[in-house]
Amino acid sequence: MRNKSSKKIIILGVAAVSVSILTTVISLIIYHNSGDIYLDRSRPGYLPDESEVENEPESNYTFSSSGPITEEVLNDYITHFEEALNYIDDLDSPFSEAPLSDESLGIPAAPAPSDNPSAE
């Protein structure tokens, strides 16, 4: 009797793994055929369009790791730090809905349905 139950468990395990592999393959086929794979920005190797590249801040200031720390050096550092902070504050929030909008994804707006069904 123990032999029959162990065979059923093995069959159940193989069936569960088979179903999961099948559903994964089907979902990946749908993902590829629908074209959504080309919108996925998390894939390695994704390169944004030239229009999507944001300008870097013009300043490449680096704080000296050696030398005396004077009031002038600190004021210069604070000035550059505040410029960098303002640049970061001006960026769009990565958690807003804007990065996923149709416009930012390059999806054209759907044409409005015509009121005249005989035009087709």
pLDDT, tens digit, for every residue of 28-87?
999 888 877 777 666 555 555 566 556 665 667 787 788 888 899 889 989 988 888 887
**Sign for the pseudo-dihedral over CA of 21, 22, 28, 31:** negative
Q: Per the confidence metrics, is the pTM higher than 0.75? A: no
The answer to whether position 78 is within a domain reads: yes
Residue 50 in domain = no
Instruction: Look at residue 118 and tell me if it is in a domain.
Output: no
Tokens of 103: 């416009």
* Structural domain contains residue 119: no
Spatial contact of 64 and 38, defined as CB atoms under 8 Å apart: no
The verdict on residue 113 lying in a domain is no
| Separation of CA 34 from chain center | 18
87: domain range?
55-107
